[in-house]
Amino acid sequence: MFGLGEAQYYVTLALTIAALALEVFAFVHALKTRPDAFVAAGKRTKNFWLAVTGVAMLLGFVSMGGLGLLAILGVVAAGVYLADVRPAVETVQGRGTGSHQGPYGPW
């Protein structure tokens, strides 16, 4: 029989895999971005963000199979990169949405 414990295990595993995918995506994006784009956007250096997203990816891998404090720290670090740094460096590189972009479109 399929019990509640098994369902919780599979949901936790799916969330952990999704978190690891997010962390890997952040690391790969930081790896592919030009080093001068980070400084031009005012977002520290490429090496700093490679270290942050790399540690986040490592924490996500280590916490595989459970959503503990390490997994949460990794997701938060990758989330900060993806929500704050990535849009800034994309704009500097000319791939962003532009400087006159509001939450509902251009202004």
- The pLDDT assigned to 89 comes to 93
pLDDT-wise least confident of 28-42, 49-63, 66-80: 66-80
CA gap 64, 33 in Å, rounded: 27
- The pLDDT assigned to 26 comes to 97
CA gap 50, 14 in Å, rounded: 25
DSSP strand pairing (101-102 vs 105-106): antiparallel
pLDDT at 86 over 60: yes
* Domain ranges across the chain: 22-91
pLDDT at 98 over 60: no
Decide: pTM greater than 0.85: no
